[in-house]
Every structure is written in C-alpha cells, then in structure tokens.
Amino acid sequence: MTIYLLCFALFLVGLYGVLTKRDIVKIILSIGIMGYATNLFLVFVGYKSGAIYPILSEGKCIQPMVDPLPQALVLTSIVIELGTTALLVSLAIKLFQKYSTFDITKIRRLSG
Amino acid sequence: MPIETWLTFILVFMILGSIISLEIKDILSSIIAIGVVGLGVSLSFLFLQAPDLAIVQFLFEIFALIILIRAFIKKDYHVEEPRIVNKILIGITVITLCAVFLLSIKLFELLPPFGEPLMKTAQYYIDNGVEQTGAANFVSAIILDYRAYDTLGEITILFTSVLGVFTILRIKSKVKKVTAGDDDEN
C-alpha cells in the first residue's frame, strides 16, 4: 500500500514536469520518469512475498514463484521506451536546428 | 530487513532524484540524475525477483544516457526567467496533483495488497509451461510462445520508431542537397 502510493508519487512527479517545464529536454526526461513509475508499478503488482524468480533449474525443488506475466510484458515495454525516447530526442534535435532554442514558448512558427 | 523497507528507501531516493533532475539548471547534471533514478529502478527489479528485467533496465539506462548526452551536451540551454504568471501556474499544478494523490489513496486500497497477487493466468503458465514450451525461463516462455503476437506487435512499434528517427534525422541533408542544386529559388 505505501509502496504503491510512493510509486504513484513518482508518476506524479513526472506529470508535474510535463505540465510545468518549458525546457524540452526536461519534458523528455519527465516522460522517462513516468515510464519508470509505470513499469515499476506493474512489477509491484506481480510480486509474491517469499517467492523466487520464475526460472527453473536442475536440482531445485518446486517453490512458489513470482508472477512472470507482468515481467514478460514490462520487458518489451522497456525496449519500446528506448525507441520512443530516441524518437523524441531526434525531434528535439531538429527543433534546435530550426529555432536554436529548447524553450517551448519560443517555438511558435510550426508551419514555416 | 524486510523487502518493503528496502523498496520504500529506494523509492524515496528515486523521487528525490527525479525532483532534483527536474529542478536543476544544468542539463548534464539533470541527465545524470535521471540515470540515478533508472539505476534505482534496476535495483528494485532485483529486489522484486526479476533478474531479466534488471539486466534490460541497466542496458536501457546506459543507452539512454549515451543518446541523451550525445544529443544535448553541446547545445546551449536556456535559463527560465521567473515570471509571476508562471509561478501561479506552477502553484496551481502542484495543488491539483496533491489533490489527485490524496484522492487516489482510496483507489489503491482496492488493489490486492503488496505480496499477494491474483496469479490466475500466470499459475497456469507456471504449472504447464515446461511441458508445453520446453523453456526453463517462464518469462521467455511467455514472451516467445504464449504471447508471441504481443511481442510481434511491440517489435513493429520499435521498428516504426527507428524508421521515424531515421526519417526525421535525414530531412536536413535532403533539403541541403536541393538548395545547393538550385540556388536561384531563394
């Protein structure tokens, strides 16, 4: 319960950055923070206390295991997050080449 | 020490790191603070018995640090001039987010408590995974066998984003060639 709330607080810190920052680099980093919080929350939901990692090995007796389903889905989510971060960074580079600033209040002439 | 204490410590550390990275002026310090947050995520994956995720998160952290530093290190960063309207907006945002946080406490009580997951589907995978797929690692059994179509879709998203990066970064060179070819146009 406390851990869930702390994870949600981390998400809200990222949301605060997206909503209030004017620097485009800070906005990209805030989106990254929100992604961290979401992945972490999904793995929190699948944790079973006293259980071991979901890998079988020879000579190990059957023990309770943590939920492997959120881990499998979060694994691909992390990789996709890298792709979207690279896409955002390339957009920011193009914006800097055109406007010579990262301030989003000065980037106005989108059509030009 | 119980695992909840460790995770609480790491989460508080991560919240502090992300606030620092958002509020600090220097871009390089900000990127490095984000790296600290990501390594905290990797460490808590280790505590949560997910070694695959910890390794992938560590690699993601290194790649993201390289990409961000390579992209932004020589760029000039602007200094935000404090304006009264901006401060008021920040105050309103903080108050709204605090209200959302307080209202969500009731919502999180509805979830199953930490350490007792439902595991209805996953119990089937754990019971029958070895006979049906032959993989000793259940995470890879789910990614590559039970949920293979999900993985296919996610790989499609990944390649689309890579194509987007290449397309966006190539536009400048094409425009240069065109303008170099016919200068009379401008």
Return the domain boundaries, chain A. 2-46+65-99
Say if residue A61 is exposed, middle or buried (CB neighbours under 10 Å; 0-12, 13-18, 19+): exposed
The answer to whether the beta carbons of residues A66 and B49 sit under 8 Å apart is yes
Mean pLDDT per block of 10 residues along chain B (186 residues) reads 88 93 88 92 91 92 90 70 79 93 90 83 84 86 89 91 89 54 44
pLDDT of residue B82: 65
Return the domain boundaries, chain B. 119-186
pLDDT digits (tens, 9 = 90+) for B96-134: 999 999 999 988 888 888 888 888 888 888 888 888 888
CATH number (1.10.150, 1.10.1760, 1.20.1630, 1.10.287) of A2-46+65-99 reads: 1.10.287
CA–CA gap between residue B40 and residue B46 (Å, rounded): 10
Please tell me the total number of residues recorded for chain B in this structure.
Answer: 186
Bridge partners, B115 (sequence order): A48
Interface with A, mutate which of B161, B174, B186 (most A CBs under 10 A): B161
CA–CA gap between residue A20 and residue B86 (Å, rounded): 8
- Nearest by CB to residue A47, choosing from B38, B48, B154, is B48
- Do B48 and A3 lie within an 8 Å CB cutoff? no
- Nearest by CB to residue B34, choosing from A6, A29, A46, is A29
Residue type, A47: Y
Burial per residue of B65-89, b for 16 or more beta-carbon CB atoms within 10 angstroms, e otherwise? eebbeebbeebebbeeeeeeeeeee
The answer to whether the beta carbons of residues A44 and B144 sit under 8 Å apart is no
DSSP secondary structure code for residue A52 in this structure: B
Q: What residues of B are in contact with residue A96 (Cβ under 8 Å)? A: 75
Q: A71 touching B, CB under 8 A?
A: yes
Provide ipTM, 2 decimals. 0.89
